[in-house]
Amino acid sequence: MNTGIGQLIKNVRIDKNVAQKRLSRGICAASVLAKYEAGIREMDGLTFIALMNRLGLSADGFEFMVDLEEYDYYRWRCETLTYIINGEWSELDSHRHYNRIVPKGISSILHSQYELYIEAIISLINGRISRFCECIVRSLRCTYTVRDIDSLKAYIGMGRFELHLYMLYLYSKKERELIDKKEIESILAGIYNYVHDNIRDVNELQKIYSELIMAEDILVGNPGCRTGGREGYNYRKLLTRYNEYGILPDMQIEAWIRSWREDRYHICLINEYLRAERADKGLSQNQFVRGICESETYSRIESGGRRISSGNYGRLKERLGIEYGNYRHYIINYDSRVHMLMKHLEYEMTEHEYMRAEQLIRMIIESIDTDKPVNRQYVDLVSAIIRKRQEYIDEEQMIEECKNILYITTNDISRVKRFLTRTELELLYQMAESYNELNNNDEVIKIIKIVVQNRQKKSSIYDESIRRQMIEKIIQGDKKTEDENIEEYIDTGMKFIRAEIDVF
């Protein structure tokens, strides 16, 4: 039986009664999707996100295992998205094309769609409306293969990025006076109803409603007038985000473009991950690969000089006792309902609805295998955080609880040679917060150093500019007199730990 990420896609698709042909349309062949679902073939990250979004789910919180070439591609994509968010249009123009051959592990269709999207944005910012319209249509057509893009319900079955492109397409029609306000209002009303009836993922709802607020304001005015009271929708928070960008009327379209967000996923290099796991188990390269491949071959794989075959990767993961494919989450479970519960749990905790959060934890426990250490560690961590926020336990008790929860996966976190999981990092963060409240600076600094050392096991390509600056600031601060720099040191260190947990 397949227990990989393909099983998650299959479960959701069946629950929603969506045919393979309909889900995969424009993204991949239905026969390829069947192989993904059966676990015969691993999908690339862009395809995974696209399929998840079409099913109304976000890919937030997943970790992607990639090789060096794929990592370089994701880094380029991340950089271009950062330029968009910051409104750095000249930088975006300079980096809009991926200047290498697109890796085999990356969907060429979804790559082409993204490059056309960037070209459309640059054209719009530079006032080339005709070129903007052309590129938006071509970008949308990469995956949206329905003949009539102007049909009243063309949006049905679109993923979030496709919906973003569709909204921009409506804007292009409005600018050319090819559609009137009533038609747009009718389409928007249909989209709101479709989203409300078909999407239950709270994270995805927040992102889509945020997109619709911006689009509705620019296309017809009255942002958010159709969304009040929707389930999983926090209008006040989205308006706050809107106001971050939509300051001046003539900047609204730019603000809309800058407000779009991709799913928050993590990237890990396969070769470095294998090296860290092997070292943690005390195996030499010869011991690790015996009976699987030649030692010289594996040595090149581990150094990043050779791509690992899917067969060898599977056998090596089995030897390491790894129970997932190329995508790792906080827990080991591929029931879509459990992942939905986890997202609702995160939302309720953000809203300080702790009684509801406790009910969701009980539902999650009933649905997962708590004999698996990572699963038990996750639910114990969330339960401890809730008890602390409700003031049932104090800072010292929280520290002891976190230590006991860490013991589930390691007896000594400072001696772990593998990469720490995000649950372990969150436990360290919670401990550091409590030590900080108790003014125990020595223990906070110990935790910061553990996390920095864990990051430094990874190659320098992981350390994008902001993260690298944090590391350098921490190291430099460590060399100075601690009494003079302790507050700044701890503040930077805490932000660094949070960044390790939350972002790519």
**Amino acid letter, residue 244:** E
The per-residue pLDDT for 2 is 43
Q: How many residues does the chain have?
A: 504
pLDDT tops 50 at residue 417: yes
* Each residue's pLDDT tens digit, 189-200: 999 999 988 888
Q: Are 179 and 170 in contact (CB under 8 A)?
A: yes
Q: Are 340 and 200 in contact (CB under 8 A)?
A: yes
pLDDT tops 80 at residue 479: no
The per-residue pLDDT for 222 is 62
In the chain, what is the straight-line distance between the N-terminal and C-terminal CA atoms, in Å? 31
Mention every residue, 6+ apart, whose C-beta is less than 8 A from residue 230. Answer: 192, 196, 205, 209
pLDDT tops 70 at residue 368: yes
pLDDT tops 50 at residue 134: yes
The per-residue pLDDT for 477 is 63
The per-residue pLDDT for 223 is 55
Residues 468-474: contacts with CB under 8 Å, at least 24 apart? 470/495, 470/496, 470/499, 471/496, 474/448
Q: Are 289 and 308 in contact (CB under 8 A)?
A: no
pLDDT tops 50 at residue 227: no
DSSP H helical ranges for 199-305 = 202-219, 235-245, 252-259, 270-280, 285-289, 295-302
DSSP element (H, E) containing 135: helix 129-143
How distant, in Å, are the alpha carbons of 46, 132, 183, 374, 473 from that of 179?
A: 33, 17, 7, 53, 54
Report the SS3 class of residue 65: strand
**Amino acid letter, residue 131:** R
* Cα–Cα distance, 282 to 277 (Å, whole number): 9
Structure tokens at 255: 């603000």
Q: How confident is the model at residue 464 (pLDDT cuts 50, 70, 90)?
A: low
> How confident is the model over 486-495, as a mean pLDDT?
86
Q: What is the DSSP letter of 158?
A: -
The per-residue pLDDT for 255 is 80
Structure tokens at 372: 């698996």
Q: How high does pLDDT run on average in the chain? A: 85
Q: Are 331 and 338 in contact (CB under 8 A)?
A: yes
Q: How confident is the model at residue 504 (pLDDT cuts 50, 70, 90)?
A: very low
Structure tokens at 171: 């804007």
Strands 63-66 and 266-269: parallel
* Each residue's pLDDT tens digit, 61-114: 888 888 888 988 998 998 899 899 889 999 999 998 888 889 988 999 999 999
Within 13 Å, how many C-alpha atoms sit on residue 244's CB side?
A: 14
* Each residue's pLDDT tens digit, 279-310: 999 999 999 999 999 999 999 999 888 888 87
The per-residue pLDDT for 228 is 45
pLDDT tops 50 at residue 268: yes
> How confident is the model over 220-233, as a mean pLDDT?
53
Q: Are 213 and 239 in contact (CB under 8 A)?
A: yes
> How confident is the model over 449-467, as a mean pLDDT?
73
> 160-175 and 202-219 are packed helices; what angle lies between their axes, rounded to 10 degrees?
0
Report the SS3 class of residue 222: coil
The per-residue pLDDT for 236 is 46
Q: How confident is the model at residue 313 (pLDDT cuts 50, 70, 90)?
A: confident
Highest mean pLDDT among 230-234, 350-354, 399-403: 399-403
DSSP element (H, E) containing 318: helix 310-320
The per-residue pLDDT for 484 is 60
pLDDT over 90, % of the chain: 48
pLDDT tops 70 at residue 436: yes
Q: What is the DSSP letter of 307?
A: P
The per-residue pLDDT for 93 is 93
Q: How many degrees, rounded to 5, is the angle at CA 126 between CA 125 and CA 131?
A: 95
The per-residue pLDDT for 244 is 47
Residue 369 CA, chain-centre distance (Å), reads 24
> How confident is the model over 334-361, as a mean pLDDT?
90
* Cα–Cα distance, 290 to 210 (Å, whole number): 52
The per-residue pLDDT for 263 is 84
